[in-house]
């Protein structure tokens, strides 16, 4: 069977601190703004550019 | 000038609104779509777990188009005549109405510019037993997602009485795309079952055509974490282990019965999986459009790939994976006809992004490249700007380009919806199509290729839901919201 068992696979798991921070409000409020900033940077880089073959 | 847009999904609707905004009143913008409602598809997974309803993720298109003075035909496109006919040189598209008052009636819509944004045909027929008409569920449309939740809820009620169940989520064919949507659904399903107190009775299996978790059809990604560069697959596997979701990789589903899924994997082995509930995405083809030239000779095969997607300015020469290049990918989405463009899922990609694999049986197991969401909307914006420029400057050269090899993407993959307990994976990648010449180590710029899981991601996904519906309804200052 090609099934990978989540219980048996050797993978690294997040520690308690990391798990706590995932829903810790003050930290997540900060992350909300920082992720939005990162995404805004991504959007600005990704809205296309002038087609250099254009004769305009 | 008349600009006709086929399809009113994310890319087509974006193009239509921007064309209307930026063209003078002398020009006409016409939308042809078989659906009466617009659907914010990213939130369909929440409909599929009962967190939202169909009404929350859709709205009536005609109301918006009437307000914006965009002519709307609720119809499906059938045939293109890019050279017109002998009787008239004006190109046109033949449509068939789906609106109940004109069901089945056909008409011809002339155009000066045409944008094919018809999106996917959900090819459930590719796998016997796949789909809502057969044995499995889908979240590809809001109707499917509503039906999916209805079936899921029935099973949950049985589980509350003690039933143990196997729930399978993933891809229903070896060449599917949208693995990210399946990823979202499986973790929202896990979240729901925990909230309902029946998680211990559930065996959840993620059945995917990806060769490794976190591939998402983009070949996976390398992420910076704590000073190390770590494959995204490690983080993905970590989440699966954390949530006790089992997984099968590199799978191609062969057939499905009411109680069993038969699949093969990359080893060539053939396996069966008994199940009680399955949400399996279908592979996509293009919608079945045909095209004829002026002499009424069929030119469908010239305009469309074998899978029905429209060929644009990409390099379609067959080549080995080792010879793939970012320059294979289209830039302007213009077809061989200078006044026809194809965007979103409708354009034919030159090849996959992830390495295509075949098992010893010769079965192709290869995630198709995703071109939904943000890239899809950016293509709509880009082509709209090009057409505006082409009209104003009387040229047939597009003024804007937006290659997926030069474009990034921001994706939010929900892992459970709750204002204080929900989480989502917030992922950015740049570029979408990796460029190993420019970024030798990973193909992407690690400064802009990031991922993290947390409540903030859930808030962002919720914000995006309301923001993009506001934008799509063309409410005041809608155009300030970026794609």
Interval B134-188: pLDDT, tens: 999 999 999 999 999 999 999 999 999 999 999 999 999 999 999 999 999 999 9
* B76-131 pLDDT tens trace: 999 999 999 988 889 999 999 999 999 999 999 999 999 999 999 999 999 999 99
* pLDDT surpassing 70 at residue A1: no
Question: Do residue A48 and residue B381 have CB atoms under 8 angstroms apart?
Answer: yes
* B333-367 pLDDT tens trace: 999 999 999 999 999 999 999 999 999 999 999 99
Q: How far is B14 from chain A (nearest CA, A)?
A: 13
Would the pTM count as exceeding 0.80?
yes
Query: For B100, which DSSP code?
Result: G
By percentage, how much of chain B surpasses pLDDT 70?
Answer: 100
- H, E, C per residue of B326-353: HHHCCCCCECCCCCEEECHHHECCCCCC
Q: What are phi and psi of B63, to 5 degrees?
A: -60, -45
* B224-272 pLDDT tens trace: 777 788 899 998 999 999 999 999 999 999 999 999 999 999 999 999 9
CA distance B251 to B255: 12
Q: Which chain A residues are closer than 8 Å to B454 by Cβ?
A: 21-23, 27-28, 31
Each residue of B275-306: b (16+ CB within 10 Å) or e? bbbbbbbbbbbbbebbbbebeeeebeeebbbe
Chain A residues 12-51 within an 8 A CB cutoff of chain B? 12-14, 21-23, 25, 27-29, 31-32, 35-36, 38-43, 45-51
Question: Do residue A2 and residue B269 have CB atoms under 8 angstroms apart?
Answer: yes
Question: Do residue B241 and residue A38 have CB atoms under 8 angstroms apart?
Answer: no
Show the DSSP H helices in B23-60 as ranges.
Answer: 44-48, 54-57
Q: How far is A12 from chain B (nearest CA, A)?
A: 6
Residue A55: the pLDDT is 45
Q: Which one of B331, B383, B456 makes the best mutation probe of the A interface by having the most chain A beta carbons within 10 Å?
A: B456
Question: H-helix or E-strand containing B73?
Answer: strand B71-81
Q: Which chain A residues are closer than 8 Å to B401 by Cβ?
A: 48-51
Q: Which chain B residues are closer than 8 Å to A17 by Cβ?
A: none
Residue A54: the pLDDT is 54
Helix (H, G, I), strand (E, B) or coil at B304: strand
Asked if residues B399 and A52 have their Cβ atoms less than 8 Å apart, the reply is no
Residue B41: the pLDDT is 96
Average pLDDT over residues B408-436: 94
**Closest-CA residue in chain A for B430?**
A42
| ipTM value | 0.91
As a whole number, the mean pLDDT across chain B is 96
CA distance B396 to B392: 11
Residue in this structure with the two tokens 């279908």, named with its chain if needed: B282
């Amino acid at each position: 069977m090609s099934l990978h068992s989540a219980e048996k696979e050797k993978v690294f798991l997040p520690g308690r601190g990391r798990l706590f921070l995932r829903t810790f409000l003050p930290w997540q409020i900060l992350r909300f703004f920082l992720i939005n900033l990162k995404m805004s940077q991504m959007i600005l880089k990704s809205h296309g550019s002038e087609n250099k073959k254009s004769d305009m | 000038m008349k600009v006709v847009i086929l399809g009113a999904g994310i890319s087509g609707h974006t193009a239509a609104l921007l064309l209307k905004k930026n063209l003078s009143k002398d020009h006409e913008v016409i939308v042809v779509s078989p659906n009466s409602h617009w659907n914010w598809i990213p939130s369909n997974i929440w409909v599929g777990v009962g967190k939202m309803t169909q009404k929350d993720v859709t709205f009536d298109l005609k109301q918006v188009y009437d307000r914006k003075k965009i002519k709307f035909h609720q119809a499906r496109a059938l045939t293109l005549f890019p050279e017109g006919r002998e009787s008239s040189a004006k190109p046109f598209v033949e449509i068939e109405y789906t609106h109940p008052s004109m069901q089945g009636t056909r008409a011809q819509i002339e155009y000066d510019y045409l944008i094919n944004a018809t999106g996917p045909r959900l090819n459930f027929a590719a796998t016997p037993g796949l789909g809502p008409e057969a044995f499995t569920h889908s979240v590809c449309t809001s109707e499917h997602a509503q039906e999916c939740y209805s079936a899921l809820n029935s099973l949950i009620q049985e589980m509350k009485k003690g039933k143990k169940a196997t729930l399978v989520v993933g891809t229903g064919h070896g060449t599917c795309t949208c693995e990210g949507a399946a990823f979202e659904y499986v973790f929202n399903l896990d979240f729901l079952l925990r909230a309902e107190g029946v998680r211990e009775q559930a065996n959840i299996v993620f059945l995917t055509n990806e060769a490794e978790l976190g591939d998402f059809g983009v070949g996976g990604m390398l992420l910076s974490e704590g000073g190390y560069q770590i494959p995204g697959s490690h983080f993905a596997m970590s989440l699966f282990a954390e949530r006790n979701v089992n997984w099968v990789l590199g799978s191609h589903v062969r057939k499905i019965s009411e109680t069993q899924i038969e699949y093969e994997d990359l080893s060539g082995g053939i396996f069966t999986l008994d199940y009680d509930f399955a949400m399996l995405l279908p592979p996509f083809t293009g919608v079945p459009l045909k095209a004829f030239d002026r002499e009424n000779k069929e030119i469908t095969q010239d305009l469309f790939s074998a899978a029905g997607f429209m060929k644009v300015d990409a390099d379609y020469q067959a080549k080995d994976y080792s010879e793939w290049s970012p320059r294979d990918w289209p830039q302007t989405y213009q077809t061989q006809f200078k006044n026809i463009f194809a965007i979103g899922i409708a354009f034919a990609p030159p090849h996959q992004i992830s390495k295509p694999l075949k098992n010893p049986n010769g079965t192709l197991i290869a995630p198709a490249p995703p071109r939904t969401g943000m890239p899809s909307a950016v293509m709509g914006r880009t082509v709209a700007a090009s057409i505006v420029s082409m009209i104003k400057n009387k040229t047939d050269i597009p003024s804007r380009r937006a290659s997926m090899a030069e474009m990034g993407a921001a994706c939010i993959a929900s892992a459970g919806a709750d204002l204080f307990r929900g989480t989502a994976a917030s992922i950015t990648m740049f570029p979408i199509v990796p460029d190993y010449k420019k970024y030798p180590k990973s193909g992407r710029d690690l400064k802009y290729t990031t991922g993290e899981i947390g409540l903030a991601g859930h808030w962002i996904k919720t914000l995006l839901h309301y923001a993009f519906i506001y934008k799509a309804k063309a409410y005041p200052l809608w155009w300030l919201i970026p794609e």
